[in-house]
Each structure stands twice: as C-alpha cells, then as structure tokens.
Structure 1
Amino acid sequence: MIHFIGIKGSGMASLACILKDMGEEVTGSDIEKFIFTETKLKEHQIPFFAFSKENIKDNMTVIIGNSFDDSHEEVQAAKANPTVTTYRYVEYLGKLVDEYHSICVAGTHGKTTTTGMLAHVFEQVQPTGYLIGDGTGYMPKDAKTFILESCEYMRNFLNYHPDYAIILNVELDHVDYYKDMDDYVLAFEQFSQNIKKGLAIFGDEASSRNLKVDVNHMYYGLHEDNDVYAKDVVEDADGVSFTCMVNGEHFHDFKLPFYGVHLLYNALGVISIGVMNGLDGDTLEKGLQSFAGVDRRFIVEEVNDNVYIDDYAHHPTAIKMTIDAAKQKYPDKKIVAIFQPDRYSRIEYFLDDFSDAFKKADAIYLCPFPENAKREEGITVTNESFLAHVKQAKACDMSEDAIRELDAHKPAVYVFMSSKDIYKFKDRLKSFQNV
C-alpha cells in the first residue's frame, strides 16, 4: 500500500492518481477543508482521511508532501516504523521519470497549461502518462511516454532526469527561497544539465535565451532568430492563427482556439518538442486544436450576459497575461479583475509590477491575504499597503456586501485570479447573479 501525507496537494493528488492507474493500492491524508483536487481523487476512488499517526500502517510505502517536515505526526510515525519505506514527493517522482520516455515542462509561468497541451498532443500518437499541476494524473498501463510539470521551487526539478524538456520562461519568483535572479537562473542551468536528449527554450527573452546549456536545444518564439517561430500572427475573438517556421523553412499553418500571447508561446514550445520527436504539423495542429484546457487555468463560464473566468494567476506577469486574454476574447465587455494574494514575500518583492499588471482592467478588487498565509521574516507588506499601491483598486472582503458591489458592474467579464480557493468566491457571485 502507498500512503500520501498531504494528498490534496496538486502534485501529490496527480501522483496518487497515476499510481492508482498503475494498479497500486493508494490512500492519503490531509486537512479536512475542501480543495479542488479532491474531485480527481474521488474519481479514482482513492480514500483519504484527516491527519493522524494511526494512518501509518506496517509495510507501507509513504510519500511525504513537500510542505511537511519531520515535526508532523504522520511523518514521525512513518520514519519511526522500520517496516515503512519513505520518500519525499520529488524523490519518488524522480524515480518514476527514469522508467519512461520522459518530458519535463519547466519555467516560471505556464507549466500546468503547457503540460496539459503537450500530453494531449502526444496522446494522439502513443499511450502517454502525465502529471499536471491541476491535480490531474494519468498513466495507462501500456504508456511509453511520461510528461510532467516540473517546479523550480526549492530546486525540486533537479530531482528529475528527463529525455526532453521545455523551459517556458525564466522570470524571478519564489523570492522566499531564491537569493536573487542569478541564483534563479543558476537553478535552470543546473536543471538543463539533467536533460538527456533535447531542450526547447523560449528565445524571445534574454533571461531564458542566455541560459548556459550544453544539451541539444532549439529556441522558439516570435522573433526570426529562433529555430522555431511564428510569423503572420493574427489574434482575434476566434483565437490565433500563424505560420510556423522551423529552421528557416515553412513547417505548417496553424489556426488554434487560444487567447493571449502566452498561449501562443506555450503552443510554440509544444511544437518544438513535437519537432524534436518527429511529429508532423497536421498531428500537432489536431492535438492543439482539441486541447480543452486544464483546471484553474482560464476556465470560462458564460451565463446570460456575464462571463466568469477562474485562473491560477498569482505572479504579476501571469495576471497581465490573463487580463489580456480576457480582453482579446471579449473585446466589447467590461473587465472586472478580482485578485487574492498568496505569499507576502511575493507581493512585497513585486509591488510595482502588481500595480502595472492590472492596468487594462476596467475595475480592480483586491481580496485579503488568506488567514493561513505565511508571513516570512522581514516582510512588512500588509493588505492595506498592497491596496494603497495598486492604483484604482478597491478592497474586497468577500462578504455579501462585496458580492453586491461586484454585481453592480454587470454585464461584465469577472476575472478571478489566485493560487488560493478564490473559485469559491466566483461561485457565490455566479449564484447571486443567476438565481
């Protein structure tokens, strides 16, 4: 039996589903509060319980989530039992990567969506397993390829040694761990040393273009100095179309139902990996066209005259891209941005960037930090100082009065953004407006 400590974590839930698909008996434990990853666990009929040292049984393999140290009661019970084998999440995942033709998706932004895109494309041509950061994990018994989201936090992705990888972008994040941009860049260069066969790198930004890499690699983007690039790009309310060039020659003309330049970049990364693996343009276009998206990444609901968008965006660059995508898809509608921060350190470090990120929204509402948000040492930002710094923003306490204030903007596109459970607030507004 394999037991997960912190099974509702997005990566942990994905891995639990994969192991269940592989025929393992899987259980888990976590807090009792609802988290969206529960849906996937229940679909896989994986039982999970409240934390208790009694969950640890003899002869278990125990996988420990990244957030749990040796002071946790279940971790202590697992390590004290000589019949129990323990792994950290990234250790176990690294072991699994070595068993397949593997492709990692890394970068500051866009990992979850691009992993989903890439997995969907490869499923068109061969049995493919995948681990996506929205809690989705799948591994057919005859899988040949394994595609996984690979996070740079705490240098976790250095546990993986894939055949291929994509580096989507390199923009400083996780400032509670990384000392500075040089340290962040170094982590990606160290990751590149683990790649066995080929690497696709976003080539339009200096931070990723200038990475020191030795493995065979291709650059992709919109500039003509890339190995793979898009030209004659047209973005409209139907999506995006472009001509794709590979090594200076016409490869394929694409028409995709994607909104926002970030999804175009992601698609070019997928195309680059596809080229490295011998996929043709028709196969790539068919796979990309039928990609339906992933949970909590630009999930759109249209009800009457209102639109509700749920997105995981929590970094200023991702927020800007999400708002841009909403404006592309709904050019004639009012954009109301609702954001809940997650880490105090991220908000303080990028305070000016957050102010710029919301500029294209017609109305901005900032929700308070969640009660369990960790205030790192030396960080002074508060709800009030954050609100004061984002011009034209209003406070939103998620109360019934706040719901009524948001309702006054209808008809509108309501863009809810956070790595936290802001989707619950979205559902309350939607229910209020459509009773």
Structure 2
Amino acid sequence: MNILQTYQTFYFVGIGGIGMSALARYFNASGKKVLGYDKTNTKLTQNLMKEGIDIVFEDHIDERITSLQKEDTLVIYTPAIKVLSILDYFNENQFEVLKRAKVLGLITENTDCIAIAGTHGKTTTSTLVAHLCKEANLPFSCFLGGISENFKSNFLYNGSTYSVVEADEYDRSFLSLSPDWAVVTSIDADHLDIYGDKSHIEEGFREFAALVPQDQQLFVRKGIDIGRPHRTYAVNEPADYYSDNLRMDHDKIYFDFHTPTETIKDFIWEIPGIHNVENATVALAILRNLGADFDTLKKAIANFKGIKRRYTKHIYQNGKIYIDDYAHHPTEINAVMGSIKTFYPDKKLLVAFQPHLFSRTRDFADGFAESLSKADELILLDIYPARELQENFEGITSNWLLEKVTLEKKEVSNLSDAFEKIKEKDFDILLTVGAGNIDTLYDPICEWISEL
C-alpha cells in the first residue's frame, strides 16, 4: 500500500503521543491534510497546531469528523487508547483504521530501515543515530520517541534511502516493522500488562531480531541472548564493537572506540552515564558500517546535545543544579541517579518523582523504592494513570509506594502542590523525573531557580 498516493487526509487518534506526532509531522510535511484528537493539550500538541495541524481535545463526533470521506481518509491510532467514541465512529463507518506501528512499517518498507529496540536506551540511541546520519549527510528520514535538542523535533526528512525509527515493544508494535538494520539495547522486564512476564518479553524481542535479514546488521548489547547470530557491543569489555578507557573531565567523558579492525581514540561525549556511552558505541558501529568517516563521527559525537527530558541539565549562577528526566522504570532511575552521584557525590539531592501507570508501580514497587531511597529527600507525586483506571488497581497508590522507601525525608504530593513544596526545600540538586505530566513543572522551576 502506498499510503501517500492512496490517501489525502490522515486522522490521528492520540496525536499527542511522541511516536504519533512524528508520523503526523511526516504527513503534514508531505502536503497532506492532517488532523486528530488527544485528551490532553500539551506543549507538543500546541507545536503541532502551530505547524498547521487541526487538533481537538474532546471525544466528540463533530462536523470535522462527519465530513471526512472514508475513501480519502486513513485513520491512525495508538494501541494505548482502548475505548473512544471517535475511534468507534471510524470503525463503524468502515474507514481504514491502522495502528501507528503498521503505518510506520508501510512508510519505511521501501527504505533501508534502521530500527532501534530496547526497554531502555532506544530513544537516546535512535536520536543519536539520526544525528550522526544528518552530520554525515546521509539521505535519511527519522521517526523518534523524543525531541532532539539538535534539530528540535522528533521528525526529520533528509532523503529516503535510510529511515531511523524507534522500535516500540509496547503491544508488540515493533513486529510490524521491516528492519534492515537493528539494535537491541536491553530486554528488562517492563509492560507486564501486555507480556505477563519477563520470558514473554524476551520472546518478543527474539521475534523482532528474527526480522533482520543479515546477521552482520543486527547489533545486540553483549550479554543479551537474542536467539540468532549477531554483532555485539559493550563498554569496558571486549566485543565486536566496544568502548573503553573512559575518563571524566568536568562534565565531559572521553573514550576510545574499537571496531573489529580499528581503534579510534579520544571521542568526546557530554551525555553522562556509562549506559549512554554504550548507546554511543552502537550508534558509531552502525554509522561506520554505513560508510561514515571517523572525522565526521568524532565531530558529531562531540556536538550531540541530547534529547529533551533525557537528563536535561541546567547549572545556575547561584550554584543550584536542576535536572529533568523522563525515566519511569527503576533501571532508568538508577542510571540517572548514578550519573548524578558520580558527577556530584557531595551535593544534596532532592527528587520529585511521578510514577507512570498503576501496573508498572505495582510490578516494580520494590525496585522503585530501592532507587528512590538513594536521594537525600523525596517528593513522590500521585501516580499518573495514562491509559489505566485506578479502580482496577485497588491499594496501589503513591502512599503505598512511599512506605517502602527508606528515606527519613519523604512525602506524597499531588502535581498542583508540588511546585510550592519544592520551593520550601533545601537542596543543591533538584531532579524532576517521570513520564507523565510532571514536565509541566519544568518552566516554572527553571524561572524560579534562576531568580534565587
């Protein structure tokens, strides 16, 4: 199906999602009519509207919907939305309705698709691969799960030979892709509401890896059993591609990069954390296999600015440090807090964390408690429900989780009171973390700390 030729109108159900918005931008940039629904008006939806995309925030069948012709309209939805009148209308009236991942697969099937998968690390890695492709001037498009700080978007078009996509394991969506190149960064337990247990997650990733036609074009972090031949990558241990000799100088990390036949010394990298050096290692491996030269790659690694809400850091003249991050799994929180403790071991850390999903809070409560207990003080926000209903998770609350945290200085807050509570605290470093709507605190916090 050539969806660009078949349809002139594209309706997105859940357009404010990071993956959905990248597709919306693609069709909008292609000159198509794009409109959609989301339940929440955010910075991202506001930016989409500024780009000319019509968005509504009420689940209501209005003239904008009833005037659409099914022969001319493709409806794209996110599987995170379960029940919606708008989606029911399109299904009942025989519109073509496809999952986001299916549409992404259709768009990229005529490209050399580079798909980045993993329960952690896929957004940083895919955004870095896209950045390196741009700096190497390769003809590519990208559909990312975060907003690149370098090109200020989650979508970029620079040609159609390659496509860089974030391969989402939620709802097994990544099995709709046709990857020519692929990365598997991690297969930790997550999305147990979909998979049930870790063994089924691992099975899903093995199915994804099996889609890659060439063994030498599948890159897997060393130590992961993916069930087929592949190339390995690692940090501080030998692999097909690996980095070592890590040194820190102020906020910069220096490392050496090894291929099976070459060693290139003194890459400079400003994104903290050994896990992020791991992400850089596999990105370099892919780009080297695509023919990029090391001079270009060195410059590109050095000027990579990261992703919005992935360890976004501000250092103020008054000495305060503010870090904002999207982490919503214990492994991710450990990585962020580990980086902070490495760079600033003697500074007092205040963490404001918003749990994302009742099911994830229930499934990983002990892990969350252990990671959050590494702070000096904690403000635990109410659980962000996203697609879930609280009545289905009796007893799973932030107060229940807080009891498991071993800190003395800890409290629960709703989002509306959190900013005032933060202003009352004594801290050197403030970390706001979570994947819900805690990002609405970002601008007020930045303005407040800068005026202290």
Same fold (TM over 0.5): yes
| Aligned match of 2:111 | 100
SS at match of 1:53: coil
1:326 Cα shift?
A: 2.5
Q: Deviations over 1:158-200 (max 9, x none)?
A: 0001110111111111111112221111111000111133111
What amino acid is aligned across from residue 26 of structure 2 in structure 1? I
Counterpart of 1:211 (choices 221, 226, 243) is: 226
| Aligned match of 1:134 | 146
Q: How high is the sequence identity, in percent, across the aligned residues? A: 27
Q: Deviations over 1:301-360 (max 9, x none)?
A: 334432222111000010011112233444553221110101222122222211221344
Please say if residues 268 and 301 of structure 2, whose CA atoms lie closer than 8 Å, have aligned partners that are also in contact: no
Larger deviation, residues 326-335 vs 296-305: 326-335
SS at match of 1:4: strand
Counterpart of 1:61 (choices 40, 53, 74) is: 74
What amino acid is aligned across from residue 211 of structure 1 in structure 2? I
1:405 Cα shift?
A: 4.2
Q: Which ranges of structure 1 fall in alignment gaps of 5 or more residues? A: none
What amino acid is aligned across from residue 17 of structure 2 in structure 1? G
Q: Which ranges of structure 2 fall in alignment gaps of 5 or more residues? A: 1-8, 148-152
Change (3 A) 1:39 1:330: farther
What amino acid is aligned across from residue 140 of structure 1 in structure 2? Y
Distance 2:377 2:271 in 1: 24
Please say if residues 348 and 427 of structure 2, whose CA atoms lie closer than 8 Å, have aligned partners that are also in contact: yes
1:368 Cα shift?
A: 1.4
SS at match of 1:191: helix
Alignment partner of 1:202 is 2:202: no
Distance 1:171 1:91 in 2: 24
| Aligned match of 2:5 | none
Q: Deviations over 1:190-234 (max 9, x none)?
A: 00111133111111xx3x2x22124xx211112433111112111
| Aligned match of 2:208 | 191
| Aligned match of 1:260 | 273
Please say if residues 127 and 146 of structure 2, whose CA atoms lie closer than 8 Å, have aligned partners that are also in contact: no
Larger deviation, residues 248-257 vs 292-301: 248-257
Alignment partner of 1:427 is 2:443: yes
User: How large is the RMSD of aligned CA atoms in angstroms?
Assistant: 2.3
Alignment of 1:16-415 (within 5 A): 16-31=24-39, 33-50=40-57, 51-54=59-62, 55-56=64-65, 57-58=68-69, 59-69=72-82, 71-82=83-94, 84-125=95-136, 126-134=138-146, 136-140=153-157, 142-197=159-214, 198-203=217-222, 206=223, 208=224, 210-214=225-229, 217-247=230-260, 249-305=262-318, 306-370=320-384, 373-375=388-390, 377=392, 380-392=395-407, 394-398=410-414, 402-410=418-426, 412-415=428-431
1:377 Cα shift?
A: 5.0
1:139 Cα shift?
A: 4.3
Distance 1:399 1:293 in 2: 26
1:119 Cα shift?
A: 0.2
Change (3 A) 1:40 1:330: farther
1:85 Cα shift?
A: 2.5
SS at match of 1:201: strand
Distance 2:375 2:235 in 1: 26
Please say if residues 343 and 375 of structure 1, whose CA atoms lie closer than 8 Å, have aligned partners that are also in contact: no
Please say if residues 311 and 416 of structure 1, whose CA atoms lie closer than 8 Å, have aligned partners that are also in contact: yes
What amino acid is aligned across from residue 430 of structure 2 in structure 1? Y
Please say if residues 232 and 242 of structure 1, whose CA atoms lie closer than 8 Å, have aligned partners that are also in contact: yes
Distance 2:416 2:180 in 1: 51
1:432 Cα shift?
A: 4.3
Change (3 A) 1:76 1:345: closer
SS at match of 1:234: strand
What amino acid is aligned across from residue 93 of structure 2 in structure 1? N
Please say if residues 184 and 220 of structure 2, whose CA atoms lie closer than 8 Å, have aligned partners that are also in contact: yes
Please say if residues 301 and 308 of structure 1, whose CA atoms lie closer than 8 Å, have aligned partners that are also in contact: yes
Distance 2:87 2:424 in 1: 49
1:65 Cα shift?
A: 2.1
1:146 Cα shift?
A: 0.9
What amino acid is aligned across from residue 238 of structure 2 in structure 1? D
Please say if residues 63 and 88 of structure 1, whose CA atoms lie closer than 8 Å, have aligned partners that are also in contact: yes
SS at match of 2:193: coil
Distance 1:358 1:158 in 2: 34
Distance 1:371 1:253 in 2: 44
1:279 Cα shift?
A: 2.2
Runs (4+) of structure 1 exceeding 6 A deviation are none
Distance 2:23 2:382 in 1: 32
What amino acid is aligned across from residue 37 of structure 1 in structure 2? L
1:72 Cα shift?
A: 2.2
TM-score (norm 1): 0.90
Please say if residues 308 and 415 of structure 1, whose CA atoms lie closer than 8 Å, have aligned partners that are also in contact: yes
Change (3 A) 1:224 1:329: closer
Distance 2:290 2:250 in 1: 32
1:20 Cα shift?
A: 1.4
Larger deviation, residues 222-231 vs 315-324: 222-231
What amino acid is aligned across from residue 224 of structure 1 in structure 2? E
Change (3 A) 1:401 1:62: closer
Distance 2:251 2:283 in 1: 21
TM-score (norm 2): 0.87
